[in-house]
Amino acid sequence: MTGDGIDRTAVRRDRFSGGPARSFLSSLAADERIFAADLAVDRAHVVMLAERGIVEGAVAGEILAALEAVESAGHDALPDGEDVHEAIETAVIERMGPDGGRMHTARSRNDEVATCIRYRLREDVIETIEATIGLRARLADVAADHTGTIMPGYTHLQPAQPTTVAHWALSYESTVRRDTARLLDAYDRINRSPLGAAAFAGTPFDVDRERTAELLGFDGVIENSIDAASSRDFLLETTGALSTLATTLSGLAEDLIVFANRGFLELDDDYASTSSIMPQKKNPDTLELVRAVAGDAVGGFAGLATTLKGLPRAYNRDLQRATPHAWDAVDAVSEATRVAAGAVGTAEWDGETLAAEAGAGFSTATGVADLLAAAGVPFRTAHEVVASAAERGADFGAVAAAAEEHLEDPLESYVDPAAVEATLDPAESVASRSSTGGPAPEAVEETLSDARGRLEADREGLAARTDALAAARDRLDAEVDARV
């Protein structure tokens, strides 16, 4: 308020409060997602301001009480505003008068927004990590139940070599494990506080950035104030990790769809539907949607990268359009992960059909070629022998006839016929592949044990991060309660 009785702040706000572009500028509706995050950031900032003597203790207590009232009223009760941050501040001022505006001392919406996004995103990433751990646990359980369940393996969707359901399931577990690791890494870079950077050039007030970071559960601060206020690489990294996870899920979904089509498994009714006109149909609808989520996530990553490309330092309003790409991706991918886990974990595998199909297309041919190569036949020559045998039939007689055509001596002079007969059997073929990571039961058991151990380590790592956030919320609540 000036000496002439005019509130210059109100005049300035009124000047920019209308116009045809006002609704285009506003993000208030979309900001409901970070309503709770903004309240937490406001509280931590006000507590710090009081501790540093920048705002009087009594005023800080009133602000904190007003914030509590705003929270109780909910997002829908906020006054109109350009965004949730402005609306909350306006609601506080409406409750306690001009002193409510002191809550914005020593900060800008730029660092406030960046902090709120990180505060909320880390919670979403934790939920997605939990979903990946759940999927890995389901895959490990499938592997444990099917270490000896022979199934056909494919390359180019053609019968290639026999393997086991366990070997297949663990192939996805190890891939999703890397997806978990990427998200954990992203979380640790998200969990740094920009608060105190102000618009981009810091503030002359004697703020304690480490204190607000501590109250909000961040592991530390982003030191450079320009970087803190304007960078969104953490969004890009997270959305990239989500896109990679979605691509993994898409492959898993496709495999399950193909296996269901071929009668190798039956999906639980909770993960299928029937046709509106053809009552005999059982459609893998949920998995088709899981498969499609990869397109959403990759599209979000492309949209985000395009928005961020070429933005000058420091803050630009384009960033308002950037964040929703990350929100959409994390929601879709997290849900798809949980659905995929449920579908694979409840599917019933048909062991008889799998075993019958495991040898289709002379899938044990490579084993015969390996057997000849181990006996001293050059592998390329062995390859020709078995290729010729494939044209005659997938049995011992065909192999013997092909050997007579391509080798100098009869087949028996190179290998024991009983060994060839065994190699032609899909179960024996699988059992022979016992090197690390192979499909033989003993190799699978070793891989499974390792997978269980890594799964538990990731559970513990996630729990440590989750517990740290809970402890920070308790500290902040205690500080607020002491001042209200």
Catalytic residues: 156, 275
Rounded to a whole number, what is the distance in angstroms from the first to the last CA of the chain? 27
φ, ψ of residue 263 in degrees (nearest 5)? 80, 15
DSSP string, 80-122: P-SSHHHHHHHHHHHHH-GGGGGGGTT--HHHHHHHHHHHHHH
Could you give the dihedral angle defined by the CA atoms of residues 393, 396, 400 and 405, in that order, rounded to the nearest 10 degrees?
20
SS3 265: strand
One-letter identity of residue 411: L
One-letter identity of residue 259: F
| Cis before 418 (ω within 30) | no
SS3 154: strand
CA distance 155 to 356: 18
**378 burial type by CB count under 10 A (0-12 exposed, 13-18 middle, 19+ buried):** exposed
SS3 152: strand
Sequence-distant (6+) residues with CB within 8 A of 366 are 161, 386
- In contact, 191 and 163? CB cutoff 8 Å: no
Question: Which sign does the torsion angle of CA 97, 98, 102, 104 carry?
Answer: positive
CA distance 133 to 253: 17
Q: Which residue has the tokens 């902040």?
A: 476
Q: 16-21 long-range CB contacts below 8 Å, 24 or more apart?
A: none
**217 burial type by CB count under 10 A (0-12 exposed, 13-18 middle, 19+ buried):** buried
